[in-house]
Structure 1
Amino acid sequence: MSAPRNAHARAALLMLGSTLGFGLMAIFIRLASQSIPTWEVAFFRNSFGFLALLPMLVLPVLRQPRPAAAFAARVHTRHLPRYLVRTAIGIASMFCGFWAIAHLPLAQAISLAYSSPIFVTIAAIVMLGERVRARRWTAVALGFLGVLVIVRPWSHAFSLGTLVAVAAAVLSALVAIQIKQLSRVDEADTIVFWTYALWVPMSLLPSLLDWHWPTGIAWLWLAATGAMGTVGQLLWTRALKLGDVSALTPISFMQLPVVSLAGWLLFGETVDAATLVGAGIILGSTFYIAHREAQLARQQRTSAPSEAVEPGV
């Protein structure tokens, strides 16, 4: 019994590390955005993230007789057009998400980002033909209620900027569905490599329209943004390989208090009651959706043990 317990403990620690990595990334995005345009922050996040990723892809093949051929085989794909679509949508989601982090209170921006699984459920119905029963529809409806509580379109507190954060969540959901589709035909390393390889030039083009060379400590914030984003993504992937997504999802919610505390200490932000209530509803809805997805995945593995489990990203 000790081995499963150790695996669950490692998964929890990896997810906690991932959560802190993504939380720090959000903080560094806000700090960098004080002197650098959002487009450019995204470009440097992708560039420094790609530099952090490459050694992890290259080092394992250096011990092989033909390293270059081994690396080419590791990242080979026959689906480049699909990656172009996936990364274009991903860039749009990133721009919206970074803009929200730069211009909205951090707690509000991150709370709305957590609504992405709600839109993933809807996209899975439309794009993958998945069946969703009453309980998950109820969770989706409650999640929408949480989004409305934060956005408050009926109130004088409503801001069009909150819709940018919602757009980021919707686009992120589309990306998640595309990754699920690509994971059926390519390995996780291939997906990650081509995502970054295409993200860098795609995010450079709009940055050139309003380019500001970073100076001083801005370079540190930009490098840290890329490093923390890559670390968070890699730890998240490894956590999900070891543990159950429904058990690990609540740990990822720790990002919200981390960024809320940073928003208060660094930027003098306070969290209003509507954001707290809406975030609570969204997190509860997201947890149930993750729990139900994990149940369905276990049932599918039990009923079809010969099928390979799709690799995570």
Structure 2
Amino acid sequence: MSIFAAFIRLPAPVRATLLMSAAMVFFTSMGVFIRLASENLHVLEVVFFRNFLAVVLMAPWIMGYGISALRTDKYGLYSLRAVINLVAMAAGFAAITMIPLAEATALGFTAPLFATIGAVLVLGEVIRARRVAALAAGFVGMLLVLRPGMEAMSLGALLALGNAFGIAITALVVKKLTATERPEAIVLWMVLLQSPLSLVPALFVWTWPDPMTWVWLFCLAGAGTAGHVCWTRACGLAEITQLQPLEFIKLPLIAILGYLLFAEEPTVWVWLGGAVIFGSTAYISHREALLAKRCARKKGG
């Protein structure tokens, strides 16, 4: 029996966990490739090549399934996701070049907090005391990482928070798309729309990559594409609230890579704040899952 066949025979929750874990490894490695590529290339060009090369890498999939596989009636959602995700991507890539990788990763854990607040302000959802307390704890964790007053608030940290805010919005859009769209199509539509959009600002700072930078750019595009495919497939197999705790894998992984490759030593505040942020988001996810089950039981009863 092949590995793929054995994987398909696994229960859906197990497959979702494995896919999400793989996605976290790919996303973590992206930070390293972004840092390496940005040493000799402007970050706006790195954003463009991340999207353009992903289209190149996915060309065999297009040829195999045909253009009809991209047929959709969700152009509005795809466009919204592309614009927001592109802005968030540019902010996140720039942050990685400005602050330690572990700090950028820890601040990225605030995305579910922003998603919860957005659901209250935009969708009118009601949250109760325990979720409010978890939100407050999450933002305390953010302050532990940033330590305003003790250290100057850096532009890189603000950009990392902007990236988390954008990711929070796009995660909700992706979950909506997975109900009817193929995971590969969701990823491909993202890079197809983001490639021309990201080319415009890149042209103002354009220089051609050297041979080694091309290697990092292809690795970045490959890791990003594989990560998004795994993440999208995982979201189609299980609820985001069940998968979200696996995101904490990124912090120890990036801390190890940052230390080995760039001699970055995360402070105790990054670890402590990251743990607090993660704990609060995991609790919020747990409460949302329980609420969804209760609502489902009431509708069924």
Question: TM over 0.5, yes or no?
Answer: yes
Q: 2:53 aligns with which of 1, 26, 48?
A: 48
TM-score by length of 1: 0.84
Whichever residue aligns with residue 39 of structure 1, its letter is L
TM-score by length of 2: 0.87
> What's the CA shift for 1:24?
0.9
Q: 2:17 aligns with which of 12, 15, 34?
A: 12
Contact 1:245 1:291 in 2 (8 A): no
For residues 26-105 of structure 1, the aligned pairs below 5 Å read: 26-59=31-64, 61=65, 67=66, 71-72=67-68, 74-105=69-100
> What's the CA shift for 1:56?
3.5
> What's the CA shift for 1:50?
2.3
Count of aligned pairs between the two proteins: 294
> What's the CA shift for 1:187?
5.8
Q: 1:25 aligns with which of 22, 30, 34?
A: 30
Q: Any idea what SS the aligned residue of 1:45 has?
A: helix
Map Cα deviations across residues 150-201 of structure 1 (whole Å, 9 max, x no partner).
Answer: 1122123532321111111112222233445555776655543332211001
The change in CA–CA distance for 1:80 and 1:244 in structure 2 (over 3 A counts) is: closer
Aligned twin of 1:217: 212
Q: Any idea what SS the aligned residue of 2:210 has?
A: coil
> What's the CA shift for 1:285?
1.1
CA distance in 2, matches of 1:79, 1:13: 29
CA distance in 2, matches of 1:194, 1:298: 32
Q: 2:263 aligns with which of 250, 262, 268?
A: 268
For residues 152-231 of structure 1, the aligned pairs below 5 Å read: 152-180=147-175, 188=183, 190-231=185-226
> What's the CA shift for 1:215?
0.7
RMSD: 2.6
CA distance in 1, matches of 2:271, 2:22: 24
Q: Any idea what SS the aligned residue of 2:209 has?
A: coil
CA distance in 1, matches of 2:120, 2:241: 20
CA distance in 2, matches of 1:15, 1:196: 20
Map Cα deviations across residues 216-257 of structure 1 (whole Å, 9 max, x no partner).
Answer: 211111011111111111112223334454443332211111
- Structure 1 spans left out of the alignment, 5+ residues: 62-66, 306-313
Moved more, 282-291 or 190-199: 190-199
- Structure 2 spans left out of the alignment, 5+ residues: 1-7
The change in CA–CA distance for 1:82 and 1:17 in structure 2 (over 3 A counts) is: closer
CA distance in 2, matches of 1:270, 1:121: 31
The change in CA–CA distance for 1:242 and 1:190 in structure 2 (over 3 A counts) is: closer
